Structure 1
């Protein structure tokens, strides 16, 4: 049984708590600036709870842990990973691991200094339907249409997620899984265009080593296909490769648990795996907006 600490007991934390429990391990401490973290009672009611990082870190010095799981706001990830390594623990951090590629170089140096590993959560790589699709792909270049809509209410833009400096924008905050998936399938980014970049929509075109990709990401549920909206759906995930669609809105229940199993076995997604999608999303965040040629525009841009 490994001892875990958790930083960030908010929106995504239940997936981490479930994964820690399902892999037979123990949460001993948690940190969140919120005054309460009642979700802990459903998983690890005896875990020590702190609202101040300094007190939390002092606790870890007296009560060491093997792992620190990090589910804090994106712009704090690097600092919290550093804290974990200082305490002699491995770090398992939510996506995006960091916002800028330069941070990966610093963390790589710290891994060597402290003799501990840094892993990230890239759960689409363990999604059964997406693993099966990878096995079917040949080496020929493909035309790809990627669409991801995940409806979010007004809270989203008023939270840290809506702050570019803290969340990194839509391409980073909700899209990094998909840019990693494209890298996993088709290789590195060779060329990119950004056609739209607003608070609620970002879209563009990528040329990868083995693919040409038109992509569209949004938190506006009105872009969900009408038939699904009529059934109450607010999320739509789709990849169409050479016109053949792979719809994978289901099957997300236990992906964090599988990510944890791999990391605990020393087979997790480390710094080098995370590098390419972080580089791509950083370029998307900073690229000039360009009007798309028709053949490179995602169909939803017609709206």
Structure 2
């Protein structure tokens, strides 16, 4: 049984981490969040200490180091994106390994800084890249690897997840904290594309604003037109009134169905990390480089055949 702490306990994704800690037979010692809406803990780990002030959480965690059997083995981080780096660095210095949500950090430079802190502390950072464990994604990766080596797949990726007015009042709507819509809702898709189709060779942005983004990515094994949005007005007519989310990945005219199978992926990620097969800093580098380039790019008109249909509809 390993000892865990959780930073960002009131966040949307935190309950999946709590359940993963419990389902892997481990102990959530303490949790921290500036917000106290964390009643979910009662049904998962009611014995956990809880703090709303980081200083008190830090002092508690530091005191645990005095007795090896009580010391933290892992800190799981679900805090807002802009706090990942300081929370990871602090947790490493507390003598714990770290499991962090994506995006791990906003830039490759901060990955390099974390690599230095790993060396200084002897601890390790793991990123939750759960799509790499999805059965449909793994089967597609096998299909791509089995195809002739010079074949490039034509891919169209569309992800629309409707968000209300609250989004832009929260940290998620602040590009200084979330790093923008492509980073906040898209980073795991860019990791998935790299995982399946190899090294990125070309990255072009065709549209970018606070609520949506689109562009073209060329990988070793694929040409990808992509579009991401949190605007419900972008939903296709056939899902309006039925669903608030639309997810589609089309490969050479064939739809990839992967709507199901997400529920247990955090637990699977934890199982792999605890077994020594987790994804570390270098595994996260490719998608961090991708979103950094998108976030800092200027949108261009785009060549014929490279522009996503949903972007064309905006023009």
Shared fold by TM > 0.5? yes
Shift, 1:269, TM fit: 1.0
Task: Return closer, same or farther for 1:36/1:246 CA change in 2, 3 Å cut-off.
Answer: closer
Which of 97, 102, 120 is 1:90 aligned to?
97
Shift, 1:284, TM fit: 0.1
Q: Is it true that 1:7 corresponds to 2:7 in the alignment?
A: yes
Q: Which residue of 2 aligns with 1:276?
A: 286
Deviation per CA, 1:2-43: give whole Å up to 9, x if none.
110000011111111111111111101001001342121111
Q: Which residue of 2 aligns with 1:237?
A: 247
Q: Is it true that 1:210 corresponds to 2:221 in the alignment?
A: yes
Q: How many pairs does the alignment contain?
A: 302
Scaled by the length of structure 2, the TM-score of the pair is: 0.93
Q: Is it true that 1:44 corresponds to 2:45 in the alignment?
A: yes
Shift, 1:105, TM fit: 0.4
Q: Structure 1: how far apart are the matches of 2:92 and 2:310?
A: 44
Shift, 1:141, TM fit: 1.4
Q: Give the secondary structure class of the aligned counterpart of 1:34.
A: coil
Contact 1:146–1:216 (8 Å) recurs in 2: yes
> After the TM superposition, which segments of 4 or more aligned residues of structure 1 sit over 4 Å from their partners?
none
Q: How does 1:92-107 map to 2 (within 5 A)?
A: 92-107=99-114
Scaled by the length of structure 1, the TM-score of the pair is: 0.97
Q: Which residue of 1 aligns with 2:232?
A: 221
Q: Give the secondary structure class of the aligned counterpart of 1:11.
A: coil
Shift, 1:225, TM fit: 3.1
Q: Is it true that 1:146 corresponds to 2:157 in the alignment?
A: yes
Q: Which residue of 1 aligns with 2:67?
A: none
Q: Structure 2: how far apart are the matches of 1:11 and 1:185?
A: 28
Range that drifts further, 83-92 or 31-40: 31-40
Q: Which residue of 2 aligns with 1:175?
A: 186
Structure 1: gaps spanning 5 or more residues: none
Q: Structure 1: how far apart are the matches of 2:108 and 2:173?
A: 21
Structure 2: gaps spanning 5 or more residues: 65-70
Q: Is it true that 1:28 corresponds to 2:29 in the alignment?
A: yes
Q: Structure 1: how far apart are the matches of 2:132 and 2:245?
A: 19
Q: Which residue of 1 aligns with 2:295?
A: 285
Q: How does 1:100-139 map to 2 (within 5 A)?
A: 100-137=107-144, 138=147, 139=149
